[in-house]
C-alpha cells in the first residue's frame, strides 16, 4: 500500500455526532502532539452532516461543508475519509466504496458496514493501494485490532472470547447488583443514555456479532461471515438466573466467542453465558468491554477498557489516522484478501460443553419425570437440578446444569420439552464457559 508522503494529511469527516465531533476536538486540541509523533500535520479540510446549523461546540469556520457526504470522496483537498455515520447500507457504504475507488484512505468506526461488506471493501482498498482502518469499530478505545493483527501476529490463536457491548454489560451488572429484572434496568439505562431508544441491536446481540466477525477474520484469516453467525441476546434473562448462576460460582455475561474446530470450521457465536468468577471476563463490569485471546506462544492475553463513547472511540480513529500519516499499512484483515479463507461457519449447535437450562413449569407432581426421558434420549446427563417454588398455584422454575453435551442435542431436547403441556415457556439455554 502507498504511504502518504506530503507533510499534511487532509481529513474529511462524514458525520458530526458525538464521535465525529470528538474526533475534530482531538485533531484541533492535540494538533501539536499529533504532529510531533507523526511528522505530519493532520488537518480537517471538509465535513458533512445532516444539520449544518447545529451547535456542536466546535469551530467549523475554516472547514468546507458538503450536504452530500458522497462529495467528500471526490474532493481534491481530501486524503482521508473518516466515516462515522453508521449503518451497513448507504450512504456509508457508497461513501466508503467511492472513497477507496478514488484512492483515498478510509478510517471508519462502522462495524456493521465491515461485517457485511468487509471482504469487498478490503479488496478495493488493496487494488488502489490505500488503507481501510477500523480500530474504533471494535471495543472503542481498546486497541484490539492492532493487538490481534500485530501484537499477536506471531501466534496461532486458538480462541477469542469477548464482552463487546457496554449496554448489555451495564444491564447485567445492574441486574446483579440490584436484583431488578431486565425490563426495569433497560428502562433506567435508556434514561441514562447507556441504551438506545430502540435497543434491539444491543440487547439482541447483533452489535456484538458485528464486532465478533471482524475479530474472527483477523484471528483466523477467514472472510467476515455475519450472515451465518449464531446470535442470542440477553432480553430473556431474569434476576433469578443471575442469582442461580452466582450460586454455581459464575456470573452471566454476553459473550462473543470464536474458535477453530478440529474439522476446520470456525465456531462463531454470541450468547449470554455463565462465566466462572475466577475468569478475568467475570470482573468486567458496567459499560466496560473486555476481550480474552489465547495464543499458542504468548498464552492467554486479556484487555479491558471503555468500549464506546466520544473520547475512546475518537481516540481510536485518530490513532488510525496517525498510522496512515506515518505510512504504516497492513492488510485489512491481516492477510491479503485473496488469502482469506471461506471457512465454513460452525454454529451454536456445534458448541460442546456444560449448559444451564431454565424451564418454567406447572407446579405439580411428575413434571421432572416427564422431562428426564427426553434428556436421556438426547444423551444429556444432569449434573445438578434446582427447583425454585413461588407462591401457591404459580409456575415454578427448574434449573438444570448439564454435564458436557453438544449444543445441537440440547436444542433438540429443548424443542421437545417445550411441547410438553407442563412447560409454560420456551426453555432458556446458556453455555457455561471454562475460561
Catalytic center residues: 211
Question: What CA dihedral angle connects 165, 169, 170 and 171, to 10 degrees?
Answer: 110
Q: What is the largest CA-CA distance in the chain?
A: 79
Strands 230-231 and 266-276: parallel
The phi and psi torsions of 387 (rounded to 5 degrees) equal -115, 125
Burial of 213 (0-12, 13-18, 19+ CB in 10 A): buried
List Cβ neighbours of 408 (8 Å cut-off, separation of 6 or more): 349, 350
**In Å, how far are 107, 168, 323, 357, 411 from 317, measured between CA atoms?**
7, 24, 10, 41, 41
- What's the rounded Cα separation, in Å, for the pair 190 and 47? 30
Cβ count within 10 A of residue 387: 14
HSE-CB of 318 using CA atoms within 13 angstroms: 30
List Cβ neighbours of 365 (8 Å cut-off, separation of 6 or more): none
Give the cell for residue 327: 505510512
Amino acid at each position: 500500500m502507498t504511504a502518504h508522503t506530503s507533510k499534511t494529511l487532509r481529513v474529511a469527516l462524514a458525520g458530526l455526532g458525538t464521535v465525529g465531533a470528538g474526533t475534530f476536538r482531538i485533531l484541533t486540541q492535540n494538533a501539536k502532539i499529533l504532529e510531533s509523533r507523526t511528522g505530519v500535520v493532520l488537518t480537517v479540510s471538509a465535513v458533512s452532516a445532516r444539520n449544518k446549523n447545529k451547535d456542536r461546540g466546535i469551530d467549523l469556520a475554516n472547514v468546507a461543508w458538503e450536504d452530500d457526504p458522497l462529495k467528500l470522496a471526490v474532493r481534491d483537498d481530501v486524503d482521508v475519509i473518516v466515516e462515522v455515520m453508521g449503518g451497513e447500507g448507504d450512504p456509508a457504504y457508497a461513501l466508503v466504496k467511492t472513497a477507496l475507488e478514488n484512492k483515498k484512505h478510509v478510517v471508519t468506526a462502522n462495524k456493521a458496514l465491515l461485517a457485511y461488506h468487509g471482504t469487498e471493501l478490503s479488496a478495493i482498498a488493496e487494488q488502489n493501494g490505500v488503507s481501510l482502518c477500523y480500530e474504533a469499530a471494535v471495543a472503542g478505545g481498546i486497541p484490539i485490532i492492532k493487538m490481534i493483527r500485530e501484537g499477536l501476529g506471531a501466534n496461532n490463536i486458538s480462541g477469542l472470547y469477548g464482552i463487546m457491548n457496554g449496554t448489555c454489560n451495564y444491564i447485567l451488572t445492574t441486574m446483579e447488583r440490584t436484583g431488578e429484572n431486565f425490563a426495569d434496568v433497560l428502562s433506567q439505562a435508556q434514561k441514562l443514555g447507556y441504551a438506545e431508544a430502540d435497543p434491539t441491536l444491543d440487547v439482541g446481540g447483533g452489535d456484538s456479532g458485528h464486532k465478533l466477525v471482524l475479530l474472527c477474520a483477523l484471528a483466523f484469516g477467514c472472510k467476515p461471515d455475519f450472515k451465518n453467525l449464531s446470535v442470542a441476546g440477553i432480553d430473556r434473562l431474569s434476576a433469578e438466573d443471575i442469582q442461580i448462576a452466582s450460586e454455581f460460582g459464575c456470573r452471566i455475561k454476553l459473550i462473543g466467542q470464536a474458535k477453530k474446530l478440529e474439522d476446520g470450521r470456525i465456531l462463531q457465536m454470541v450468547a449470554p453465558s455463565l462465566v466462572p468468577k475466577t475468569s478475568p471476563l467475570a470482573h468486567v463490569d458496567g459499560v466496560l468491554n473486555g476481550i480474552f485471546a489465547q495464543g499458542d506462544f504468548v498464552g492467554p492475553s486479556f484487555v479491558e477498557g471503555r468500549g464506546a463513547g466520544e473520547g475512546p472511540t475518537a481516540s481510536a480513529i485518530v490513532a488510525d489516522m496517525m498510522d496512515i500519516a506515518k505510512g504504516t499499512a497492513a492488510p485489512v484483515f491481516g492477510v491479503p484478501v485473496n488469502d482469506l479463507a471461506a471457512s465454513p461457519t460452525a454454529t451454536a449447535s456445534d458448541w460442546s460443553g456444560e449448559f444451564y437450562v431454565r424451564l418454567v413449569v406447572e407446579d405439580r407432581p411428575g413434571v421432572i419425570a416427564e422431562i428426564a426421558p427426553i434428556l436421556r434420549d438426547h444423551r444429556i446427563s444432569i449434573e445438578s437440578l434446582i427447583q425454585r417454588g413461588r407462591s401457591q398455584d404459580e409456575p415454578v422454575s427448574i434449573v438444570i446444569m448439564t454435564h458436557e453435551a453438544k449444543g445441537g442435542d440440547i436444542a433438540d431436547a429443548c424443542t421437545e420439552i417445550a411441547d410438553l403441556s407442563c412447560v409454560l415457556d420456551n426453555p432458556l439455554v446458556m453455555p457455561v464457559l471454562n475460561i
